[in-house]
Amino acid sequence: MKLSDLILEIKNKDSFLCIGLDTDINKIPKFLLNEEDPIFLFNKSIIDKTNPYCVAYKINTAFYESLGTSGWVSMKRTIDYINKNFPEIFTIADAKRGDIGNTSKMYAQTFFGNMNFDSVTINPYMGSDSVKPFLEFENKISVLLGLTSNIGALDIQLKKANKDYVFIEMIKSSMIWGNEDNMMYVVGATKPQYIEKIRKLIPSHFLLIPGVGAQGGDLNEICKYAMNDNIGILVNSSRSIIYASNDKNFAHSAANESIKLQKQMKIILSQKNELEL
Amino acid sequence: MKLSDLILEIKNKDSFLCIGLDTDINKIPKFLLNEEDPIFLFNKSIIDKTNPYCVAYKINTAFYESLGTSGWVSMKRTIDYINKNFPEIFTIADAKRGDIGNTSKMYAQTFFGNMNFDSVTINPYMGSDSVKPFLEFENKISVLLGLTSNIGALDIQLKKANKDYVFIEMIKSSMIWGNEDNMMYVVGATKPQYIEKIRKLIPSHFLLIPGVGAQGGDLNEICKYAMNDNIGILVNSSRSIIYASNDKNFAHSAANESIKLQKQMKIILSQKNELEL
C-alpha cells in the first residue's frame, strides 16, 4: 500500500485508529478454546466488527510465535484474511526485527514477501545495513523505533549522546536511509513531552503511536503535538479494545471501544480542519 | 543448561566453536530440494557430522521465518533434534528480539518455553523491562547485543554518549539486570579494538563472537583480547562452515571446516593452559 492510500482511508473514515491484535490465548473468551483455531477466530470476529472504525491493524508477532508453529499459522491466516477482505486497511507486523544486512534481508522477505504486510516495525539499533533491506521493497513501509513507550526507554534511548538524547541521534542517523513515503517512526504516547522535539526533526513522517489506553497515554495531548498537515499519525490501542469484554459479545464490545476512540478522532480531525480553513 | 555445563563441554572438546545454522533454501545443495523438508535435512546432516567439534549451534531465526510456516516447522524440528540427540550442546536462538515487558514475556515463552533453546539473542535497545522477562527463566541464558559486527554499528552503537560510546552505556545499564550466569553479550569479531574495553567492563561474562570467517574476523586476535579465566567466549562461524561445499559431501566438507577451527582453538586453549601453569 502507498502512504497516500492510507491518508485517503483516514479521511474517508475520520479515523487514525490502529487496532493492535495482541491476541493472547489466556485472555480470549474461554468458549473459543474448543474451536480448531481460536486465535484466528478471535481475530476474525474482532476484525469483522471493528473494521469500519479503524484504518490499520497491528499484529504483535510475539503473541503468535509464543504458541509455536500453530501460532504462526494463526498469524498467516489473520493477515491473509485482512488482505483479502479489507485490502484498504493498512497492516503492520509489529515484529521489532533488525539484524546484519544479509539477515535483515530474510526478515524483510518474511513480512513483506511471504506474509504481505504493508509495514513492519524495526529496531534500528544495529544501524543502516539492518534497515536498508526492508526499504528495498516497493510500496512497503518500514516503521523504525523512535522513542518507545516503556519504562526501559530510560536505560538507553533517553541517555544523553553527543549533542542530544540517544533516540534523537538514532532518528537523525536514520533520516537519510529512506524518506517519508517509506519510513515511519514508533513514538510512545506515554512520552508527549518529547513529541514536539521529534516533530521538529521529522515534520513530515508518519508516527505510529502506541500507549493510548492500557499504557495510559492521552489522545488529545498526543494529537496536539504529533499531528501534521497530512494528519501524520496512527494511534494504536490494543488491550483496551480487544479485551473490552470476554463474553459471547466480545467483538461487539471491541467495536464499541473502537467507536469511542473513532468519535474522539473525528472531533480532533474536524477541529483541525476548521483551524486550517 | 547451566553455564558450568557449557564450560565443561568446552574443556571436553577443546573447542569453543559455535556453528551458525543460517540455512538458506537458495544456498543448500540442489538435490535436497526434492525432499519433504530440505531445510531440516540439511541441518540434520550438518549436525550429525560437525557435533564432535563444536559446543554450540546458533539458529538464525530470520532464515526460517522467511519461508513462512514451513520454515517455522523446520526450525522446531532442528532444535528438537539437537535437544534429543545432543543435549550436551548449547543452543542459541539468534532472534534479536526485544519489546515492552508484556510482549518480551511472549518472546521468552517462544524460545525458552515452546522451543526449549538454552539461550536467545536480545536487542536491548528498549531497556530493562524488555530484557527481564527472559531472565526470569531458570537455567536459560539471555545474550544481549554488546557491539555488533556490521557496518551499521557506526550509526548508533559507536556514537559517543554521555561519557562513552552508546554501546558501552548500553552494557553498563544492562549489567545490573542479570549476572554472568544468565547473561552473555554479542561482540562482533570484526571490531577487536573494542574488545579490550568491553572486557574491562565485564571481565566475567561469556561473549558470543560472530564474524569469524565470511565477515573477516581473526581468531587469534579475538582470543587474545576476549578470553578470560573461564575461557569466556563462544566463537561463531556460519557461512564458511555450512556452505563449505554444495555437492553430495557437503556435510563432510562442513565437518572439515569445523575441524580446522577446532584445531586452532585447541592450540589456543593449550597455550592458555601453559601460561596459567
Q: Is A128 on the interface with B (CB under 8 A)?
A: yes
Q: Is the dihedral of CA A175, A181, A186, A189 positive or negative?
A: positive
Tally of CB atoms within 10 A around B272: 13
Q: Is A80 on the interface with B (CB under 8 A)?
A: no
Q: What number is the average pLDDT over the span B2-17? A: 97
Q: Is the dihedral of CA A238, A241, A246, A251 positive or negative?
A: negative
Q: pLDDT for B239-273, tens place per residue? A: 999 999 999 999 999 999 999 999 999 999 999 88
Q: Do B155 and A145 touch (CB under 8 A)?
A: no
pLDDT of residue B211: 80
Classify residue B268 as exposed, middle or buried by CB count within 10 Å of its CB (0-12, 13-18, 19+). buried
Q: pLDDT for A92-126, tens place per residue? A: 999 999 999 999 999 999 999 999 999 999 999 99
Cα–Cα distance, A76 to A91 (Å, whole number): 12
As a whole number of Å, the end-to-end CA separation of chain B is: 29
Q: Is the pLDDT score of A147 beyond 80?
A: yes
pLDDT of residue A163: 78
Tally of CB atoms within 10 A around A276: 7
Q: Do B156 and A149 touch (CB under 8 A)?
A: no
Integer Rg of chain A from CA? 18
pLDDT of residue A275: 79
Q: Do A161 and B157 touch (CB under 8 A)?
A: no
8 Å CB contact between B84 and A92: no
Q: In whole numbers, what is the pLDDT of chain A averaged over residues? A: 95
Q: Is the pLDDT score of A200 beyond 70?
A: yes
Three-state SS at A221: helix
Cα–Cα distance, A237 to A68 (Å, whole number): 25
Query: In Å, how far is A111's CA from the nearest CA of chain B?
Result: 8
8 Å CB contact between A228 and A203: yes
Q: What number is the average pLDDT over the span B128-142? A: 97
Q: What is the 3-class SS of chain B, one letter each residue? A: CCHHHHHHHHHHHCCCEEEEECCCCCCCCHHHHHCCCHHHHHHHHHHHHHHHHCCEEEEEHHHHHCCCHHHHHHHHHHHHHHHHHCCCCEEEEEEEECCCHHHHHHHHHHHHHHCCCCEEEECHHHCHHHHHHHHCCCCCEEEEEEECCCHHHHCCCCCEECCCEHHHHHHHHHCCCCCCCCEEEEECCCCHHHHHHHHHHCCCCEEEECCECCCCECHHHHHHHHCECCECEEEEECHHHHCCCCCCCHHHHHHHHHHHHHHHHHHHHHHHHHHHC
Q: Is the pLDDT score of B168 beyond 70?
A: yes
pLDDT of residue A169: 92
The domains of chain A are located at: 3-276
Q: Is A160 on the interface with B (CB under 8 A)?
A: yes
Percent of chain B with pLDDT over 90: 88
Kindly state the helix (H) or strand (E) to which residue A105 belongs, with its residue range: helix A101-108
Q: pLDDT for B80-125, tens place per residue? A: 999 999 999 999 999 999 999 999 999 999 999 999 999 999 999 9
As a whole number of Å, the end-to-end CA separation of chain A is: 29
Q: Is the pLDDT score of A217 beyond 90?
A: no
Cα–Cα distance, B226 to B207 (Å, whole number): 8
- pLDDT-derived band at A218 (thresholds 50, 70, 90) equals confident
pLDDT of residue B130: 97
pLDDT of residue B214: 66
Instruction: Look up the ipTM and state it.
Output: 0.95
Q: Do B129 and A115 touch (CB under 8 A)?
A: no
- pLDDT-derived band at A131 (thresholds 50, 70, 90) equals very high
pLDDT of residue B68: 95
Q: In whole numbers, what is the pLDDT of chain B averaged over residues? A: 95
Q: What number is the average pLDDT over the span A5-29? A: 97
Q: Is the pLDDT score of B38 beyond 90?
A: yes
Interfacial B residues in 26-45 facing A (CB < 8 Å): none
pLDDT of residue A214: 66
Answer whether 0.90 is exceeded by the pTM.
yes
Q: Which residues of A touch B100 (CB under 8 A)?
A: 148-150, 152
Q: Which residues of A touch B159 (CB under 8 A)?
A: 161-162, 166, 169, 173
pLDDT of residue A268: 96
- pLDDT-derived band at A69 (thresholds 50, 70, 90) equals very high
8 Å CB contact between A240 and A19: no
The CATH T-level fold of domain A3-276 is: TIM Barrel (3.20.20)
Three-state SS at A201: helix
**Unique residue bearing C-alpha cell 557430522:** B49
Q: pLDDT for A150-175, tens place per residue? A: 999 999 899 887 778 999 999 999 99
Three-state SS at A256: helix
Query: In Å, how far is A66's CA from the nearest CA of chain B?
Result: 4
